[in-house]
Every structure is written in C-alpha cells, then in structure tokens.
Structure 1
C-alpha cells in the first residue's frame, strides 16, 4: 500500500550515482497526487540535472512479469504510477564497483535515479502495475546496450517470485553471466586542438585512456558549418576546447580579424549550442586580454570585461557565450608557456646566441604553464567543482616581461644584466604592421581556484620545472 505523507528525501545506495527518492504523496478518499518529477527540489537534494527528453510508460497486467537486466546508454528516472515492483540494479560500468548490486521495492511513494551504465530490472508484485521512466536521450535502434542474466550467480539477486515461476522473454533468459559482460566505459572526453601547446599538455595529463579522444583541425574543424552533425554528441560527457586564434597582433588586420572572430566566437557559439543540447560539460580557455589592464589590483573572475584589441574582444565575446552553457568551466589564464615557440624559449635562445635584448618592463603579470592549466582542468572536472569561471596562472609575486627574461638568462647561466627594460611604446616604436594594445596589468586573482582545492604552481619554481622538462 502506498505510504502517504513522507517528506521528499534521498537515500544513497552502494552503487555510485544510484539514488532512491522518497516522494511526498498526498491522498484522500478521491485518490492521491504527487510531484513525480520536480527539477528544482530534486536537484537541490543532489540529483544530477540530467535533462530528460523522453517519457516512457511500461504497463504489466500480471504479477511476476520480469524485465531483463539492461544497462542503457542514458540516465533514467523510474517511478511507479500504480501498483508495486521489485527492482534490481547491477553496476555494469568500468571501475571498482563493477558487479555491485542493489535491490528494493518501489511503489508510488518512491522513485530511483539510474546513471548510464547501471543495469536495471523490474518484477511486478501487483497486478495492473505501471511504471514511468524519464530518459535524457531519445531511443535509438543503434544505441549500444549491455545486459546481464537475471539468474547470474555472482549477482545473486533474491527475486521475490522465483524466476522459474514468472514470465520472462527468451532474449532475457539468454543474456550473459557477469564474467562474460564487457564493462561499459565512461562517456567520452573530447579534446579539441590536441596538437597545440595546451593540447600537448592535455595529452600528457589524460594519456591514452580509451574514452579520451584527441582531435586537431584536420580531424575536427570547429569552424565547419556541419559541426553539429560531425559526432554523435550524446556519447560525450566533456569537451575541452584547447583550440583558439591567438595571434594578438595579426588579429588587428582585415584577414586576422575575420579569422579571430571565426575561431573565437562563431565556432564557440556552435560548441556552446552542442554542449547545451547534449548536456555536455564544456571547458574553455580564456585570457587576461579580456581586461584593459588599468586596475591597480589583481583581476577577479567577476570584474567587468573591458578588452582593448580585436583578440581581446573575441575572447570576451567567447566568454559571454560559454557562460550560457549550463555545465561550463572558463579557465582564464595569462602569458601562457608550453611545448612550442614561446617567450621563455625565445629568451633562452637569445641568451645562448649572445644577443642582449630589449624587453618590455611596463606590463605586469604571471606566467601560466600549460602543464598547470591541464592539471587544473583535470582537477575541476574530477572534483566536480562548481561550474563557472576560474582564474588559473602561476602563483607568487607578479613580474614584468623583463623580470622573467632576467630569470631565464640566470637559469641558462647567462648574465641577467644583459636585459634592457623598455616601455611597450618604445618596444614597438618601429613596427610596420598593426600592433594590438596590451593590458598593463595582467595579474589575476587566484582565490577562487585555490578555494576549489587546486594549488597553483609558484612562478619561480614553475619556471625551473619547465626548464628541467624541456631539457631532460
């Protein structure tokens, strides 16, 4: 009999992500009423905001009707409309809980959230039982399922009505035992721009995990008009966009302006639409150039955007677009150094060649090493940090470009006094091509990401570690 008057509450199970909800059911002589699905209240109790797109109903007129253990490629919210069922759930996902079992009875006062890859099966305990389920992907004949035999000895499910006394389809009777089930891998992580400086660091961070897919422009062009049909996007949980137009000065030219807007805004709009439609977490890398650099203290994530040049304008526009995606991380960085041509490598080369360079001394900020960006992204994703914007650079006292150049000369065994500091205006005084305006203060406040549990590398030690990695 349905229990009336319970408070909305959640119960964890031994299977990660599988949670049971008590539902308030209000009844009288006329019958009963309940809120079967209430997004705001249920997500407040920790239910994933899983974005259902289809509602199905299963009706069973006979006691004992038993459905096989099926693991589907989507999340599922199951509740009973009328009657009562015994449910059995088996974790068929890769990981330490593979094979874990949970069973319980469901009536109209209970519901259960089943994550993708957890096998579920139901046995009716009353005649004329109907249960409903919301799913966050449309049914497809090409969807990949996994199955487990109802009588699997390892799972050892104690069915209320013995399986030899109930109605079971022939197909369900012939499903494999647990030892023959191939664990379901997690949804894919797509890393775009995997051959760039940050992309290479992400390759090192994520390695050759089979669920991680790396692409460059030859295999996935995010500026292409058919991007939304280029993948079965429901198979992805995360997109990390490490591709961008970063030619700050070239963006001031007619051709560069078009290319910068295409890569940093138009393509970002398509990615944001894909992520929103398919409940994908979108990770995007931003820049200190979204600010004008006139602030006297470090910039926080909430400071108003005020870009100076075309590059900064496109990055600021991209940030605003990404911020509309329900699941997003914007990683704002400055002065990025990675595996490739960069300021540090240039200074080391000049030192070795005996050249005494003029280096800008009126721009202040911190270096950001791509290894730290990759590690920070990994941390936010694996700890399920709150979505939003995070500043991420090296830590420590801000420096000018000239200060960093002197550090590089010192680390390479050369006299740092060979560096001559000059103003930005003097440095570009003889330029013949368009030059983008630079923010004079690029220092970003790191409080938010520190509170999220990520320890940013100290600037001087990070520079030493960078040299050791590129020279080892």
Structure 2
C-alpha cells in the first residue's frame, strides 16, 4: 500500500497523486478524492461540482487532446490508461508534455488550459474525472492532434495500429503550430475611477476595469448577467466614502447599498464561480478606543465596533466579503492617491497662503494608494493565506495636524502656519459623523507574508514632489 503523496510535474500546476489501495481477496478500496488530506499535501481546493465517467470497451481506445476551461481530477475506476497532457496555456510552458501510466493507485490533477488525453491499456477500462464547472454545450476550447510531432507523445499502442480507436473529431484536431493558446482568466477592477482604482489599474495593467456604467452592482440582474466565468480575481475598490453624507437619509441608503449589499452580491458570485475576491475596508470599523492599550494598533481580529453609518456599512461589508471562500479583506486608513484627498487639500491651502486649523487628537497613518495596490498584488501573486489584512504605510503614527505641518513644510510654508484644534472644537456646529480617535492599524500580519510597507513620510515627500 502506497502512502498518499502529491508529485509535481514539468507542467506548472499539473500534479500526480499517489493513492493508497486497501486490498484483500475481495478486491480493493481507495479514497479517490479526500479533500482534507489532499489539500494539506498541496492539491488545490478546486471545488468539484460534477463527476463524469468514460467507459472504454476495448484496449486501444484513445481520446483527446482536449483543453477544457475548468480544472479536472482524473483517475481510473477499473483498468489502466496511458495518460498524456500538453500545456496549451499562454506562457513559457506552452507545448510542455507530460505522460504517466494511471491505474487505480494514481490520480492526476489537471489545471484549466492543459490538454488532457489518454489511451486505454486494458479492456473495459473506466476513466473517471471530477470537474469544477458544469459541462455545457457550445463552449469552444483548444484541442491538439494526438500525433502532433512537437508534443511527440510516445503512445504505448501506436496510433496507426489496428487496435487503436480514435474519433473522427480527434483525427481532425490541429497541430501545435496552429493552436491558439488558452488565455488565463482575467482580473476585474471595480470602482476604477477612484484613487485606489487608478492605482490598481497601474499595478494590474492587464486587468479589466469596470465602473458603474459597465457593471451596476446595485442591479441584481446586471450582476447575474456578467460573464464571471472569464475572471479569476475581482478587486472591489467600489465604495461610498462620504462619511458625513452617510448620516443623511439619502446617504444612509446609498452607503448601505454600495458598502454592504453590493459586497454581499460579490461574495455570492465569488462562491459560485470560485473567484478570489479582494475587498477594501476601513479603520472606521473600529471605534478607536483599544489602541490605547495596544501600541501596535488595531489587530485584524479585534472585534468590530463601528461608530457612525459609514462605519457600520463598512463593517457589514467586511462580514459579507469574508463569506467568500477565497477572500482578502484589506483594511486601510487615510488613503492618498490620484484624486481629492487630505494631502492635496493641505498643499492647495499652503500654495494659496491659507493658514488652516487641523485636528490634532485623531491619530493614524497615511496609506498611499500605490502602497495599497502593491500590497494587493503581493497578496494575490504570492498566494498568501486568505483572510483579513491591515495595510497602511509604515512609520510613527501621526495626527492630521502633524501631517498638515509636514505638507506645509514641504511646500515652503512654515509648519507653524497650521494651528491645532481638538475634534470637539472642530466639530462644533457642524453635521459631522463620529470618527475614531485612534486609527492606527497593526501591520504584523501583512509583514509576515513578506510585504514591507514604505515609511509614510518618505512616501509623502515623493508624492508632493510628483
């Protein structure tokens, strides 16, 4: 009896699984698919939804090479096959071939875009495969001729033998030089018009960007009709960020629709289509009181305690996004990018000779949109564990007042031209939403993945120079 093991192959993502057989005089038993054990050994948790069987009456039946747009887990229930796979995906591994004999003790995980084929080595062979999407008619995908000279598959039974049975369709498949490689699934950026959306578009230049005109997340019909099967990753930068307006009747409804209900729709889509959902949240989900006893800032697992309507909708969005099996909830604070923000406002005031009053008792760190986009690319690209991460720039926490002084000094104005004021004094007579006093987010978890945020003052000076 072999031990359960997973072996890599020259084709990226194509894995050979060795299965223990438990046998006696009556025959054998095996765990053909065992999610917990196999994923622990590195097999993708690919979420099979359909199990297919192919019966091959006689030795020599030969099928393929077909490249379906889904992942497969292939094995045999009876008999033996010679399995052959050719990478037909875009990229450096295009055309790479791998072959192995498959009996009851062997299974193979076949990633989307890798051509799959086999030849029955025994009569009455039963070939089984799990797939993670439902078969549907009319879906076109690449195929390759079984005798392609470049792939040069050494079929145990020669293809011109009288024993070999090949369908007319497979005999008509093209050679490798005529195959159009399968493109990878795409990345979709939602909310591309904002500061973060623009930075994400620069960090993911091949991504597709959709605003409300292209995809209205408030419309269940529009969400249902979107071709989600074409995507692997969704970056949700769409948000209602008017903190004070969220306290009004109209703003309250909009904030809940965009920050919570739409996120729940995306999480459902991510579950159904096995997408990675990246959702961006805010330090506003905390009331800002526990940082006083935690000098590193709010940890990811701190209990949610939102103060105002905006904060409550963001907290609800966090909970909704976390229901997607493959999710990154990225909380951040004090975002600065290409658009209206606090730093640009202070620079404008400095250039116009205005001397502002700025609150000095709200403490946090700036987050440059480029840093947030780089962290996103790192999380997705490094396959970091799914979950919630805090991302800001690094450095000693500052107050808004201290940030304003840095901006004024960088613009050639005296830092003393900025005057401090308490939150209560600033809010007097104004319809302002409550704000957390301590917005510092702990960065230990994102650092543990290998991402080191840049110091906020270094990034600030470069931003002002640019």
TM over 0.5: yes
Hey, what's the Cα distance between the residues in 1 that align with 2:149 and 2:220? 52
Give the 5 Å matches for 1:198-217.
Answer: 198-207=196-205, 209=206, 212-217=207-212
Gaps (5+ residues) in structure 1? Answer: none
1:194 matched to which residue of 2?
192
1:171 matched to which residue of 2?
169
Give the 5 Å matches for 1:142-157.
Answer: 142-157=138-153
2:372 matched to which residue of 1?
373
Give the 5 Å matches for 1:229-248.
Answer: 229-248=224-243
Give the 5 Å matches for 1:270-309.
Answer: 270-295=265-290, 296=292, 297=294, 298-309=297-308
Query: TM-score normalized by structure 1?
Result: 0.96
Q: 1:219 aligns with which of 214, 219, 223?
A: 214
For residue 28 of structure 1, report the CA deviation from its aligned partner. 1.3
SS in 1 for 2:441: coil
For the aligned residue pairs, the C-alpha RMSD in angstroms reads 0.9
8 Å contact 1:137–1:234 — kept in the other structure? no
Hey, what's the Cα distance between the residues in 2 that align with 1:374 and 1:182? 32
Hey, what's the Cα distance between the residues in 1 that align with 2:287 and 2:54? 59
SS in 2 for 1:142: coil
The answer to whether 1:22 aligns with 2:21 is no
Hey, what's the Cα distance between the residues in 1 that align with 2:220 and 2:273? 18
1:243-276 CA distances to partner (integer Å, 9 max, x unpaired)?
0111100111111111110111111111110101
1:405 matched to which residue of 2?
404
For residue 188 of structure 1, report the CA deviation from its aligned partner. 1.4
Q: 1:44 aligns with which of 25, 40, 47?
A: 40
Hey, what's the Cα distance between the residues in 2 that align with 1:413 and 1:183? 56
After superposing the two structures, state which structure 1 stretch, 256-265 or 459-468, moved more: 459-468
For residue 444 of structure 1, report the CA deviation from its aligned partner. 0.5
1:39-80 CA distances to partner (integer Å, 9 max, x unpaired)?
111111111111111110000011111112111100000010
The answer to whether 1:117 aligns with 2:113 is yes
Hey, what's the Cα distance between the residues in 2 that align with 1:282 and 1:393? 20
Q: 1:265 aligns with which of 244, 260, 263?
A: 260
Give the 5 Å matches for 1:318-329.
Answer: 318-329=317-328
Gaps (5+ residues) in structure 2? Answer: none
Hey, what's the Cα distance between the residues in 2 that align with 1:422 and 1:142? 66
Query: TM-score normalized by structure 2?
Result: 0.97
1:160 matched to which residue of 2?
156
For residue 234 of structure 1, report the CA deviation from its aligned partner. 2.2
The answer to whether 1:72 aligns with 2:68 is yes
Hey, what's the Cα distance between the residues in 1 that align with 2:429 and 2:26? 87
Hey, what's the Cα distance between the residues in 2 that align with 1:133 and 1:225? 34
Hey, what's the Cα distance between the residues in 1 that align with 2:421 and 2:363? 13
8 Å contact 2:215–2:223 — kept in the other structure? no
2:86 matched to which residue of 1?
90
For residue 35 of structure 1, report the CA deviation from its aligned partner. 1.0
Hey, what's the Cα distance between the residues in 2 that align with 1:395 and 1:145? 47
Hey, what's the Cα distance between the residues in 2 that align with 1:30 and 1:369? 66
1:166-220 CA distances to partner (integer Å, 9 max, x unpaired)?
111122112111111111111111110111111111111112x2xx211000100
8 Å contact 1:227–1:270 — kept in the other structure? no
Q: 2:182 aligns with which of 170, 181, 184?
A: 184
Q: 2:436 aligns with which of 428, 436, 439?
A: 439
Hey, what's the Cα distance between the residues in 2 that align with 1:358 and 1:185? 54
For residue 100 of structure 1, report the CA deviation from its aligned partner. 0.7
8 Å contact 2:286–2:307 — kept in the other structure? yes
How many matched pairs? 460
Hey, what's the Cα distance between the residues in 1 that align with 2:137 and 2:454? 49
Hey, what's the Cα distance between the residues in 2 that align with 1:142 and 1:214? 27
Hey, what's the Cα distance between the residues in 1 that align with 2:130 and 2:91? 26
2:354 matched to which residue of 1?
355
SS in 2 for 1:313: helix
SS in 2 for 1:6: coil
After superposing the two structures, state which structure 1 stretch, 246-255 or 168-177, moved more: 168-177
Hey, what's the Cα distance between the residues in 2 that align with 1:422 and 1:7? 68
The answer to whether 1:60 aligns with 2:56 is yes
8 Å contact 2:363–2:399 — kept in the other structure? yes
SS in 1 for 2:416: helix
1:391-450 CA distances to partner (integer Å, 9 max, x unpaired)?
00010000000100011111111111100010111112131xx31101000001101101
Hey, what's the Cα distance between the residues in 1 that align with 2:227 and 2:37? 31
1:206-245 CA distances to partner (integer Å, 9 max, x unpaired)?
12x2xx2110001001111214422222221111100011
For residue 144 of structure 1, report the CA deviation from its aligned partner. 2.9
SS in 1 for 2:330: strand
Q: Which runs of 4+ in 1 moved over 6 A?
A: none
